Chains A and B, each alone.
Chain A
Amino acid sequence: MATLKELAAQKEKFVGGHRACAGCGATIVARQVLMAAQQPVVVGAATGCLEVISTIYPYTAWNVPYVHNAFENVAATMSGVEAAYKALKRKGKIDKDLRFIAFGGDGGTYDIGLQSLSGMIERRNRVLYVCYNNEAYMNTGIQRSSATPTGANTTTSPAGKVLPGKLQARKNLTEIIIAHEPAYAAQATIGYWNDLVTKVRKALDADGPSFINVYSPCRLGWGYAPEKTVQITKLAVESCVWPCYEYENGKYRITVKPKEKKPIDEFLKMQVRFGHLFKMKDPKLIQEFQAEVDRIWERLLKRAES
């Protein structure tokens, strides 16, 4: 278990001065993940907010080697970096023990980069893939992705006169990844920093591909005051909208169990993207969202028991 004191004493690997919005979740993800790493790491990023705000030439926020290629291919790119590492190590050109981390947003992971990620895991490239999941295409201005939850108002699933925001439920990417049987997979979020740090360390120690889906609020896209970023993630976990769990050696484990499962209303009400749902006469969409959260939570409880 990491202590804050221990983490705070480290040299920063992802530094300030970048161009992220106040209250950006993605940058907290990057910082916490890199703080957790106990081995030297090489980082790759998919095109997206994190990439755009951190590397405007001639500046960089990364104090570790970093490579960006395109939007949909960070998993393949890091597969190549890892392959080169193995080849060059075999030839004695590198003697250090390195780890590899790929960062992608939900657009670059759930949608356009899913094939590339699937390939990376199936090939067993030893890379930790971290999805900073803010549930929409935030970099291009808040468009729906397959991670966007039911009812959310985005610019391509707008709440209009006849349509109430996104009609479809979120894709469960973590389960899709688990179906690949990676060496390690987990869901986490920044409000539970110690949970995230522990998971990153496990993932980097695992002898194979690993994946962590990190809930990462976007204050612009979700519509809340920037100082609420961490608080919102805690509510997401307490209401089971975002369960923190892991999959290791064929077993599920819920790592953060809410003392009392809250209804999703409080979580939804904090965010402008769901505001229209509470003005509607028919609460059907909220009920559907709640039912989906309950169903997945119950299923997870069962899986964690067995």
Chain B
Amino acid sequence: MIVVARTGNEAMAEAMRQINPDVVAAYPITPATEVVQLFASFVADGLVTTEFVPAESEHSALSACVGASAAGARVMTSTSSQGLALMHEILYIAGGMRLPIVICLVNRALSSPINIHCDHSDSLGSRDSGWLQIFTENTQEAYDTTIIAVKAAEEALLPAMVTTDGFIISHSMERVEMLDDKDVPIFLGERKVINSVLNIDKPLSFGSLDLQDYFFEHKRSQIEAMNTCLPIIEKAHKEFGDKFGRYYPIVDEYKMDDAEVAILCLGSTGGTAKVAVEKMRAQGKKVGVIRPRVYRPFPKDQLLKALAKVKAVAILDRAETMSGQGGHLYNDVRAILYDAKSHPLIKNYVYGLGGRDISIEELESIYDEMFAIQKSGKVDKDIVYFGVRGE
């Protein structure tokens, strides 16, 4: 193990170098560009044996990933925002074909208006595409999860995206404990290939036209794979922890055991909220953080367990569903609470769109509002747009 200072992008690129995928097909886009260009430099310096496909668009990048993965290769790419949107069509195809491709995704707002900074409209806009989605809080977690995701994806036969928050993590330098180069391939092993489009002795047709008589059964089996893959993801995390000493849960709970109110959020905001928790606990206020790392599949049981511990929860969404019903997390959490035994009071804070920062003090103010809600027993306004001028 070596300790280095790396940005989120550098850490993900280093993880890719150590994974040494058979094929990487990619296209540059801010703020994920560095992952691609660093990887290209690893190829140029002979540090990996990867076949690098510098595609002419993200659509072609993921299309090439699909071809390469169907050929039995271990395949990775990286993108962000508009790039993921351009891949959208092929995301569903990769999912349907059960190809364990891994995307290092750097979260950035979708246009318009055009913006290069972080929100989750890109990744959450792809939440129904049949990909595992894991949100990371910091650079270390991004590095570790990139490696874990390859194992989980290949065992579940599902594609996976590992996300960092654009600029907040992708461009911030942090302390990272890196694994030894030799340990990563040993941890991952070889991809187990069931069928390959390169097997000329067993010529199969991949991506057949599937009509009314079979489509639904095939889709149902994909749904089943998604419904039952959480233990596989957990196992990959546990194996990583057992081997390297860093354990990650499906849902990260911080100071939740005696918390009265909590913030539930994705990604880097979890880290900021933990600092707010420390400050408030120093004042005797019992607050906690619930941070789903795995967002797809949605970890219902783990979340219900965490939610049951508190009386009021602020659900922070860095994206909007444009449905009049607030953000994605809020909707998903409300849905699982329907048949839960105990219901905490919940309020949706849509925040930070287009990279607007959220500060420790602002998070403290949200905790204070939660205490007020806990006290009054009611939520006066269930969806608010936090930090917007004119609200």
A interface list, Cβ under 8 A from B = 40, 42, 44, 51-52, 55-58, 60, 62-70, 72-73, 75-88, 90-91, 93-94, 96, 98, 115-116, 118-119, 122-123, 125
In the bound complex, how far is the Cα of B202 from the Cα of A65, in angstroms? 7
Within 8 A of A (CB), among B195-214: 196-200, 203-211, 214
Task: Give the distance to chain A from B74, nearest Cβ to Cβ, in Å.
Answer: 9
18 contacts between A and B (CB under 8 A): A60-B205, A65-B198, A65-B200, A65-B203, A66-B205, A67-B70, A68-B206, A68-B207, A69-B67, A76-B61, A80-B64, A80-B71, A83-B53, A88-B22, A88-B73, A90-B49, A115-B57, A116-B59
B203 with A64: CB separation less than 8 A? yes
B207 with A81: CB separation less than 8 A? no
> Told that A66-B205, A85-B198, A123-B54 touch, could you supply 4 new A-B pairs with CB distance under 8 A?
A77-B66, A79-B64, A81-B197, A87-B23
What is the 8 Å Cβ interface bit string for chain B, positions 66-78, against chain A (1 contact, 0 not)? 1111111101000
Q: How many chain B residues have a CB neighbour from A under 8 Å? A: 44
B197 with A116: CB separation less than 8 A? no
With contacts A55-B205, A84-B22, A87-B50 known, is A76 near B197, CB below 8 A? no
- B16 beta carbon closer than 8 Å to chain A: no
Q: With contacts defined as CB atoms under 8 Å apart, how many contacts are there between chain A and chain B in the complex?
A: 167
Among residues of B, the one whose C-beta sits closest to the C-beta of A66 is: B205
B211 with A63: CB separation less than 8 A? no
Task: Give the distance to chain A from B21, nearest Cβ to Cβ, in Å.
Answer: 9
A65 with B199: CB separation less than 8 A? yes
Among residues of B, the one whose C-beta sits closest to the C-beta of A45 is: B207
- B357 beta carbon closer than 8 Å to chain A: no
Within 8 A of A (CB), among B65-105: 65-73, 75, 89-90, 93
Within 8 A of A (CB), among B171-217: 196-200, 203-211, 214
- B382 beta carbon closer than 8 Å to chain A: no
Residues of A within 8 A of B206 (CB): 65-68
B71 with A81: CB separation less than 8 A? yes
B200 with A79: CB separation less than 8 A? no
B interface list, Cβ under 8 A from A = 22-23, 25, 49-51, 53-57, 59-61, 63-73, 75, 89-90, 93, 196-200, 203-211, 214
B90 with A73: CB separation less than 8 A? yes
In the bound complex, how far is the Cα of B343 from the Cα of A78, in angstroms? 52
With contacts A64-B203, A70-B93, A115-B60 known, is A86 near B66, CB below 8 A? no
With contacts A69-B66, A81-B197 known, is A63 near B72, CB below 8 A? no
B207 with A69: CB separation less than 8 A? yes
A87 with B67: CB separation less than 8 A? no
A119 with B203: CB separation less than 8 A? no
Among residues of A, the one whose C-beta sits closest to the C-beta of B193 is: A93
With contacts A64-B203, A67-B207 known, is A84 near B23, CB below 8 A? yes
A81 with B70: CB separation less than 8 A? yes
With contacts A57-B214, A123-B54 known, is A80 near B23, CB below 8 A? yes
Among residues of B, the one whose C-beta sits closest to the C-beta of A13 is: B203
In the bound complex, how far is the Cα of B197 from the Cα of A98, in angstroms? 11
In the bound complex, how far is the Cα of B199 from the Cα of A90, in angstroms? 16
In the bound complex, how far is the Cα of B199 from the Cα of A83, in angstroms? 15
Residues of B within 8 A of A64 (CB): 200, 203
Residues of A within 8 A of B89 (CB): 70
Residues of B within 8 A of A79 (CB): 25, 53, 55, 60, 64, 67
Residues of A within 8 A of B67 (CB): 44, 67, 69, 76-84
With contacts A57-B214, A81-B198, A83-B23 known, is A66 near B59, CB below 8 A? no
In the bound complex, how far is the Cα of B75 from the Cα of A44, in angstroms? 19
In the bound complex, how far is the Cα of B203 from the Cα of A55, in angstroms? 13
A84 with B51: CB separation less than 8 A? yes
Residues of B within 8 A of A118 (CB): 56
Task: Give the distance to chain A from B187, nearest Cβ to Cβ, in Å.
Answer: 18
